[in-house]
Amino acid sequence: MDTTTIAQLLHPFVALEECHLSSISTYIDLLLKWNARINLTAVRDPEEIVTRHFGESLFAAQLLLPRGRQGNERVETVIDLGSGAGFPGLPLAMFAPAAQITLIESNHRKAAFLKEVIFALGLKNAKVFSQRAEVYPDKADLVTMRAVEKFEKSLSVAIGLVTQTGRVALMIGLSQASQAKELTRDVTWAEPVAVPGGHSRILLVGTRRVKESEM
């Protein structure tokens, strides 16, 4: 897909430089190629891939990682849990080159796809952990999660990967917001932010509270 079309489709979400638009074009080509062999995404239309996957992810990036490099709260490490086809993790890496992004994806074929995209786009700040999240040895300042299976279990794992006073960011349906709040006692949630696109999607961000046992 040409970069002019990509820019037009992303206009409601974000404005990008030409280098980022070119990277997205390359990413889409790889995604369509691999998706013919393994099920990376149910979205098959290239224009819908731009809006649903890249648009939503980059919209979140603007709020989570202001100006790409700095903001009121500097984020140095990010974990994208259950990365799948790479959203929102890889767009976050594209948007914020100062952040170190780890994509956790236990499916080895999907992990191989992610590694190819990272290589093709020259993303020096992204890496893949191709085992289960429960055995990942580190924590991160920000943990993202989007469209994962077994939401309740995955949310618990995500919270466990967040550093003290770090943040968890969920890209979920509006109906899941109350469930997320009920499942988490150690997180202070901000008001949900509606994601453009008309799909009743929200960005729900919470800050992990420090337990007395951790003080």
Is the pLDDT at 103 greater than 80? The verdict is yes
What whole-number distance in Å separates Cα of residue 169 and Cα of residue 80?
10
DSSP tag of 150 = S
pTM of the model: 0.92
H or E stretch covering 102: strand 100-104
CB neighbourhood size of 29 (10 A)? 13
What is the number of helices (H) and of strands (E) in the chain? 8, 8
Is the pLDDT at 75 greater than 80? The verdict is no
CB neighbourhood size of 65 (10 A)? 21
**Cα-based torsion angle of the residue sequence 165, 14, 128, 28 in order, rounded to the nearest 10 degrees:** 160
Mean pLDDT computed over every residue of the chain: 91
pLDDT (tens digit, 9 = 90+) per residue, 21-46? 999 999 999 999 999 999 999 999 99
Superfamily of domain 56-214, CATH level 4: Vaccinia Virus protein VP39 (3.40.50.150)
Instruction: Report the pLDDT value the prediction gives residue 56, as an integer from 0 to 100.
Output: 95
111: left (phi over 0), alpha (psi -120 to 50) or beta: alpha
Q: In sequence order, what are the beta bridge partners of 127?
A: 102
Average pLDDT, integer, range 78-94: 96
pLDDT (tens digit, 9 = 90+) per residue, 141-196? 999 999 777 889 999 999 999 999 899 999 999 889 999 999 888 899 999 999 99
CB 125 within 8 A of CB 93: yes
